[in-house]
Amino acid sequence: MASADGGPATIETIARRAGVSIASVSRVLNGLGGRPDTVRKVQAAATELGYVPNAMARSLRGGRSGQIAFAMEDIGNPVYVAMVRRIQAVAKEAGFRLLLHSTGADREEELRALRSLADRHTEGLIISPIRITRDHLDELRRAVAPVVVIGSLPEGFALDNVRVDSRVGAAMAVSHLAGIGRGRIGFLNGPLDTVPGQARYRGYLDGLAAAGLDERDELVEFGEFRTDSGADAALRLLERVPDLDGLFCANDLIAVGALRALREAGRRVPDDIAVVGMDDTELARVTWPTLTSVGLGSARRGELAAELLVDRLGEGRDREPRWVSVTPELVARESTRS
């Protein structure tokens, strides 16, 4: 490694070139991150001076791996794909590699991901569990490295957290269906013992109440947050309520399955049944008809979580925990065209 004048590139020469402190250069070169503009300046100066970091030596010398991890339910779900893209961008900008862990919503897998922080293979973790148990909370309290949770935590829990109120989003979906004249609005949900399943069920009831519509148990079907489950649930609901004219699905995967089932049953969307999904993933723009969906800011939540983690690993290591919220937004498309 040599500087532009032929001497060896050092932390001091990089700091002078970047116009930042020696401490900031040390943090960046040792994988601790920092403010995005600081990281950019240090990386640019290091490149100009011919500095080539030795990740293994850095890890052995400082006990740092230069890696962060993201643990999610299903790597194939478009919600998590959107999150990964933004997390990866922020991580790369800050000089971290990103490891992915698809847990299948298995509690033990999620707890294992939290416990594995003790191995020091990763410097921090972003996790998005769909169930928050007492065991989850205990492991979060015991975590030996920074953790950011994407999802709802109990009020006052001292941990960096990025959340969205999907209960409000679900109420928006039902209100939209009622607003276009639909009075028999069904609901296809995931498991009720999950955080999103519970929140979206409550939001569905809120929406019915706001529209002056009666709550009817026969209008609700529970399954999994998957396409095949959505198709099966839609057929069960149609058999029980043949005059159904509106349908809210707890995520876009369920909605895609429901659209397929409705076509097979000879029901026209939106003429016979108007359909709303949730998450506003890429799927919503390529279904036929295109899908009205409530966006929950998946990409933005991933970005915010990564920024919180990178900050925690760098200059914000001693700050108070931050809770950041994203606002739901309904995007109307052909599946609810009036």
Choose the weakest-confidence range: 73-77, 233-237, 252-256: 73-77
CA 232, 233, 234, 238 torsion: positive or negative?
Answer: positive
Q: How far apart are CA 182 and CA 245, in angstroms?
A: 6
pTM for the predicted model, two decimal places: 0.81
Confidence check: pLDDT of 173 > 90: yes
Q: Looking at residue 245, what is its pLDDT? A: 98
Q: How confident is the model at residue 31 (pLDDT cuts 50, 70, 90)?
A: low
- Token pair 């070169």 is found at 29
pLDDT at residue 33, as a whole number: 65
64 burial (CB, 10 Å; 0-12 / 13-18 / 19+) is middle
Report the pLDDT value the prediction gives residue 295, as an integer from 0 to 100: 98
Average pLDDT over residues 166-188: 98
Q: Show the domains of the chain with their CATH numbers.
A: 11-53 (1.10.260.40), 65-165+298-328 (3.40.50.2300), 166-296+331-336 (3.40.50.2300)
Residues 120, 99: Cα–Cα separation, whole Å? 13
- Residue 4's pLDDT is 46
Distance CA 86, CA 319 (A): 23
For residues 227-253, average pLDDT: 98
pLDDT: which is higher, 248 or 1: 248
Phi, psi of 337 (to 5 degrees): -60, 130
* Average pLDDT, integer, range 145-156: 95
- pLDDT averaged over every residue in the chain: 91
**Higher pLDDT pick, 245 / 55:** 245
Burial zone of 39 (CB within 10 Å; 0-12 exposed, 13-18 middle, 19+ buried):
buried
Q: What tens digit of pLDDT does each residue of 85-112 get?
A: 999 999 999 999 999 999 999 999 999 9
Percent of the chain whose predicted confidence (pLDDT) is above 90: 75
Q: Say if CB 90 and CB 307 are below 8 A apart.
A: yes
CA distance 316 to 224: 38
Tokens representing 219 are 């209008």
Q: Would you call 191 exposed, middle or buried from its count of C-beta atoms within 10 A (0-12, 13-18, 19+)?
A: middle
* DSSP secondary structure string for all residues of 231-277: HHHHHHHHHH-TT--EEEESSHHHHHHHHHHHHHTT--TTTT-EEEE
Res 52: pLDDT: 56
By percentage, how much of the chain surpasses pLDDT 70? 91
Looking at residue 325, its pLDDT comes to 97
Pairing of strands 329-331, 292-295: antiparallel
Helix, strand or coil, per DSSP, at residue 107: helix
pLDDT confidence of 29, banded at 50, 70, 90? confident
Residue pLDDT, tens place only, 108-120 = 999 999 999 988 8
Residues ≥6 apart with Cβ < 8 Å to 204: 170, 171, 173, 174, 187, 189, 220, 248
What pLDDT is attached to residue 50? Answer: 77
Whether the predicted pLDDT of 5 surpasses 70: no
Rounded mean pLDDT of 238-254? 97
Of the pLDDT bands very low, low, confident and very high (cuts 50, 70, 90), residue 287 is very high
pLDDT at 124 over 70: yes
pLDDT per position as a tens digit, 41-86 = 888 888 888 775 544 444 434 457 789 999 999 999 999 999 999 9
Query: What is the maximum span of the chain, computed from C-alpha positions, in angstroms?
Result: 81
